[in-house]
Structure 1
C-alpha cells in the first residue's frame, strides 16, 4: 500500500494505453500510487520513461489488458479507440469477464454508448471517464474526472481516477452522460478563448494596448486556466508544450456541434470557432495550443476578409 494525493491505495492491477502528453502524465500518477501498471503505446519508445519508473510494457493491447482489473485508454479519437479494442490483439480479446475499460478521451456521447454496448456483448464493463485539465495539471494529480456508465464498475474506476484527480464526479445516466458534460464544459472554455482573442484584436485595431484589457481579465478570471489563456493570447505565445493542440480542439468542437445538432440546439458561437480553427490550421498552426484559433481574427483583418459563413470550407477561405 502507498499514499498518493492524500489517499491510500492497494495494489490494483491497471493497464494504460495511449501515452501522449496527457496519457503519460496520468499513467505516472497511477504508478506512483502503488498500483501495478502495464502500459502499451503505438510508438514503443514512449513507454520507456514509465518502464524506468517500474511499469511493465506490453507488446500488444491484448497483452496489456490480460491481467488488468481496469484498462485506461487515452487516445485521440473514435477510430484510434476501436483500433486498440478490436481484433485478435485488441483489448476486448484480452480483458477478463466483468473487468473494466475506462475511456479518458473526449468522444461523442453516441460513441460512448456504443462502447458500452460493445463491452456488454463481450462480457466486460465500460465507464466513460473524460478528464478536465491540462497535462501539467495531470502531472500534479489535479485533474477533474467525470464518470458515467456501468454502476457495478464505478467503484474500481473511482479508485483509479482518484490517483490523478483532485475531484471525481459521477454523472448520472448512461455512459455518454459524462461525455455530454465534458463537451458542455469544453464549449464554455473554447468560446471564452475566442471572445478574449476578439477583444484583444478590437483593442489593437482601436489603438488601445490589449494589456489593459488583460489586466481586467486577470482580476475577473478566478480559475488559473482562464488567466493562462488570457496571457497566452495577449503574448501570442501558442507553443503547444503541455497544452491542448488545435487539431485536438477541432475534433472536440466538431463533437460539440454534432451533439448540439442531434439534440436540436444551435451553438452559433461554436460554428464561428470551428471556422476560425480551420483557418488557423490552413496556415500551418494545427500543432499549436488551441488558443491559436484567435489568430484567425487577425488573419481575417490583415487580409481584409469577411468572417466565413458556418458552412464555408477552409479551402474556400484560403483562395
Structure 2
C-alpha cells in the first residue's frame, strides 16, 4: 500500500516539476516513452507514459512498457525510493533487488528526468569528496568537468593548453600547473585523454599523477584504453598505494555537456560509491561491470563495436541505394524505425547526408585507434569481431584521403567511392 501511494506521489511531483522546473520540462520534451514500476510478484505497479511534454499514469501491474523497473518486493522498493542516500538505487541494482527490463535508453532518459526533478531539492544531499581533479579538457573532458563543477564539487583542473581552463577558473576552479599538483589537491582524479600512451604518460611522468597522488587516492579513468593498459595501470597504482578505477564513458561531446553520458565502471567494490558520486554528475546512468577495472574496457569496446558495425552496415546500404536508385531516404527511414538508440538515429542522418565534417564529436583518427583496440581484444578472446578488419581497412583509406579530423563515421563513405 505504501509503495502504491509513493508511486502516485511520484506522478504528482513530476506534474509539479513540469510546471516549475525548466530543466525537467526540456528533458521531458526530448522524447516519448513509458516505464512500468512494479514488484516481481505483480502485487503493486504503476505505469508512467510520457508524450509531447505530458505525463500520464495509471495503476498497472502486468502491462507492457518500453522499460520495466522490477522490484524484488514492495518493502525494498519503498525503502530504497524514499532513501536520502543518492546511491540507494544503484546499490539496489548491484544487489539484485531491482532489475531494469527492456529499452535501457528509456531507463536512462527516465533517470535524467528524476535527476532534473531533484536538482533543486535541498533535502537531497550528496556526500562528496572534498575535491575532484579533472585532467584533460578536450571535447569530452570539458563537458565532464563542467558537470562536476555544477554538481558542487570543489574542482581542480589541468590541461596542457591552460587557456581551456579559463571557463572553469571563472567559476571558482583551481588551476594546477602540473598533473602532479592536480593530484596532490584531490582524492579523486578523473582523466579524459586520447589513448593508452597519453594516460600512461600522465600517470608515470616525473610530474605526473603518481608524483602527487596521496596513498589511498583514486584515479578514475574515463578514457577509452585497452584492457591490457588498464591492467598495467591497476598494478602501477597498487604498487604506489593508490587505486585505479575504470569509468569508461559512452556518448558524444554534446551528451557530456548535458550530463547525459553512460558510465561503465569497474574496480574495487569498496570504492564504487565514492566514484559513482562523481560519475553521476556527468552521467545519466553508471553501470557497474565488475571488480576488475579491465572489464569496463571490454564493455566499452563492445559498445563501440556495436556502433561502428552499424555504421558500416548503414554505409553499405546507402551505397546500394545510390547504385540502384532506391535512394538514401528509404534506408534512413528504415534505420530510424529500427533503432531506438538516439546515437544510431544520429548516425543514420549523418551518413545519409554525408556531412562528416560538421558537428564532429569523435574524429576518425580516434575511431581508428578504438577499432584496432576492438580487434586486438577480439583476437585474444573470442576471435569473433569479423567486421573489424573491414572497418579498419576503410578507415585507413579515409585517413589516406586526409579525413582524419572528420567524424569517425566518414569511413562509410568509402563504400560509395567508385
Residue matched to 1:281? 399
1:211 aligns with 2:329: yes
- Partners of 2:208 and 2:179 in 1: CA distance: 5
- Partners of 2:205 and 2:230 in 1: CA distance: 19
RMSD: 1.5
- Partners of 1:142 and 1:128 in 2: CA distance: 18
User: Which one of the candidate residues 248, 260, 273 is aligned to 1:155?
Assistant: 273
Contact 2:224 2:370 in 1 (8 A): yes
- Partners of 1:150 and 1:52 in 2: CA distance: 35
Match of 1:101, SS? strand
- Partners of 1:264 and 1:236 in 2: CA distance: 34
Residue matched to 1:238? 356
After TM superposition, give the deviation of residue 9 of structure 1 in Å.
Answer: 3.1
Residue matched to 1:255? 373
- Partners of 1:244 and 1:45 in 2: CA distance: 22
Deviation string, structure 1 residues 1-59 (Cα, Å, up to 9, x no partner): xx975464345210000111100000000000000000001111111121122211100
Contact 2:266 2:295 in 1 (8 A): yes
Match of 2:170, SS? helix
Unaligned runs of 5+ in 2: 1-85, 87-114, 119-123
1:175 aligns with 2:260: no
The count of aligned residue pairs is 298
After TM superposition, give the deviation of residue 92 of structure 1 in Å.
Answer: 0.3
Contact 2:246 2:297 in 1 (8 A): yes
Match of 1:169, SS? strand
Contact 2:128 2:277 in 1 (8 A): no
Deviation string, structure 1 residues 239-271 (Cα, Å, up to 9, x no partner): 253511111110100000001111141322111
Residue matched to 1:221? 339
After TM superposition, give the deviation of residue 63 of structure 1 in Å.
Answer: 0.4
Residue matched to 1:305? none
1:31 aligns with 2:149: yes
- Partners of 2:235 and 2:358 in 1: CA distance: 36
1:299-310 aligned at under 5 Å gives the runs: 299=417, 302=418
- Partners of 2:344 and 2:133 in 1: CA distance: 33
Residue matched to 1:62? 180
After TM superposition, give the deviation of residue 87 of structure 1 in Å.
Answer: 2.8
1:1-319 aligned at under 5 Å gives the runs: 5=116, 6=118, 8-12=125-129, 13-239=131-357, 241-299=359-417, 302=418
Match of 1:233, SS? helix
- Partners of 1:216 and 1:68 in 2: CA distance: 49
Deviation string, structure 1 residues 175-217 (Cα, Å, up to 9, x no partner): 1001101111110000000100110001101122111111122
Residue matched to 1:314? none
Runs of 4+ aligned structure 1 residues displaced above 6 Å come to none
Contact 1:109 1:179 in 2 (8 A): yes
Deviation string, structure 1 residues 141-200 (Cα, Å, up to 9, x no partner): 111101111222222111100000110111114110011011111100000001001100
Deviation string, structure 1 residues 270-314 (Cα, Å, up to 9, x no partner): 110010000111101111111111111122xx1xxxxxxxxxxxx
Match of 1:268, SS? coil
- Partners of 1:102 and 1:133 in 2: CA distance: 17
- Partners of 2:155 and 2:126 in 1: CA distance: 13
| Larger Rg, first or second structure (1 or 2) | 2
TM-score normalised to structure 1 length:
0.90
Unaligned runs of 5+ in 1: 303-319
